[in-house]
Amino acid sequence: MPSSDPFKRRAVLALLFSVAADVAPCAGATPERVADFEKIVVIVQENHSFDNLFGKWGDVGGQPVNDLRFAASAAPQIRADATPYECLPQNDVNLTAPAPLPVLCVEKSVAGAPLPGAFPNRPFEIDAFIVPTDTTCPLPGERPPKDGVAKGKGLPGGCTRDMAHRFYAEQFQINGGRQDRFVTGGDAMGLVMGYYDTTKLPIYRYLHAPGAPHYVVADNFFHAAFGGSFINHQWLIAAATPVFEQADNSGGAHDLHAVVDENGMGANTPLYASPLGKMAQEYALTASCAPPPGRPAPPPGVACGDFAVGTIQPSNEPIKPGTPPWQRLPALAHETIGDRLDDAHIDWAWYAGGWSNADGRVGAPGWTNPPTHCDPATTMAGAVFPRCPDMMFQFHHQPFVYFGKYAPGTDARKERLLDETEFLAAAAQGGLRPVSFVKALGSENEHPGDASESRGDQHLVDLVEAVVKGPDANRTLIVVIYDEFGGAWDHVAPPPWNADKSAPSDKWGPGARVPALLISARFARSGVDKAAHDTTSVTKLIEERFGLAPLSARDAAVRSLSSAISVAY
């Protein structure tokens, strides 16, 4: 274990940050400054909290980033009985005790079994135990073991196991802004308190190298909706939670409603035993407001209804092979940012890694299969030519596919849903559209458990560099966000418990703090934006830049990311 303690902070740093937090955030960039950018590129990465990935960022332009230096006084993680843990037990195979690490102390599972641990009850540096060269990443097409791939059993990349990130569980973990039940409410126990050495990340090194573009860290940015990737991609494009029309409410095998207990939890974890036992489950939909006999009603104040909040497949292809019809969300029709842009005749596209293969666009840019069949070495099992999705293609990361407007065969689908290779070509040729969304393939998006953090972060650098080195560089604003927290802890409370009391919140979120960067060759300086934002702040920035009406009450009320532009001038 490292002998140094990175969480001891000097009083002067604490004073600096407390003063900065009390200063009213800037109202945002002037319209002229926002209009400087003819093109906006939004890159959506995966599943990390701010502290987990940017926790050692340090100062930017003389301003302190609210990173792990300011987490020393955060509440310790607590057990289900509200008492603090003595240590953090682990179930990632590379972090367990007594092997491969020595025992520091012993906790107990909910069943009373001893859980030896090697970590004190505080954040710890993942890189000190699992490095990028470690062979801990799953083989292509392999479903990784729940507790991760042991060193020597996988591919290089330094992967950890995945962590649960669910709608109701995250609310339990946040615990009214106390941020102290992440260990108890997660399935990965102590791993939720892990963080990476930010200074070793490719994006950090790129931005601090000679000749790098200036950037702004938004250190008070939260993912819009509690839970995972599906719902947060929907909030990025629509600022709303989709509804599953005519959802089954029978309590039978096709009923996708969650079942939550008196604590608002819809799951059991190694350190939490639900009063409902195995009945407590988080499925694709919120708990029913009027559940059938045999299922309890959700407690007061808990979101309920026929809302899709968990991972669910679309009705439109591409669909994960083997998904039965009852597990597919009926096609959606409410308005998205795509509709707003279309109505204003603003060109845009969603670019996805592996899209041409998944959508069966034989011979199109990004197609990597033979012209007559799917390549079995790279294609997901059960796929039927011409749809040849890569083994790491993630269907629920394609939010526009869920809408009837983008059904197979439509002009909208052909014009708006494109392969990531077309984005790279447009950046190189100076042909970027006014708005571009970019979503990497699962092997390159930094998703814990599935992907190497170092490889995914390097792919992020490649995307940013493609724009910065291209002819459109001085006209383009790059926004990098992470879709959600991935189950990892963060010490900053989201709204309504955030220090910025003007930030909106509702029954959907926001959830935990996540990394966010704004980068542009046009920026005059680097700095820190401390205004409270959520994912819909990106949507609002696009609306603001192109004179579009808001999509919902949230993006109407949230502060635009234009405030970060002010920092850079």
What domains, with CATH codes, occur in the chain?
35-64+197-239+328-512+526-567 (3.40.720)
Token pair of 316, please? 């439109």
Give the residue from 487, 489, 497, 483 showing the smallest Cα distance to 532.
497
DSSP-assigned letter for residue 199? G
pLDDT of residue 503: 97
What gap in Å lies between CA 238 and CA 236, rounded to an integer? Answer: 6
Residues of the chain with pLDDT under 70: 1-32
> What is the predicted pLDDT for the residue at 26?
42
**What would the two tokens of residue 456 be?**
């995914």
H/E stretch holding 436 reads strand 435-439
- pTM of this structure: 0.94
pLDDT tens digits for range 137-180? 998 878 888 999 999 999 999 999 999 999 999 999 999 999 99
Q: According to the model, what pLDDT value does residue 30 have?
A: 59
CA angle 276, 328, 554 (to 5 degrees): 75
Nearest to 380 by CA among 329, 325, 318: 318
Structure tokens belonging to residue 527: 């700095």
pLDDT at 142: 82
Residue 467 Rama label (left phi>0; alpha psi -120 to 50; beta):
alpha
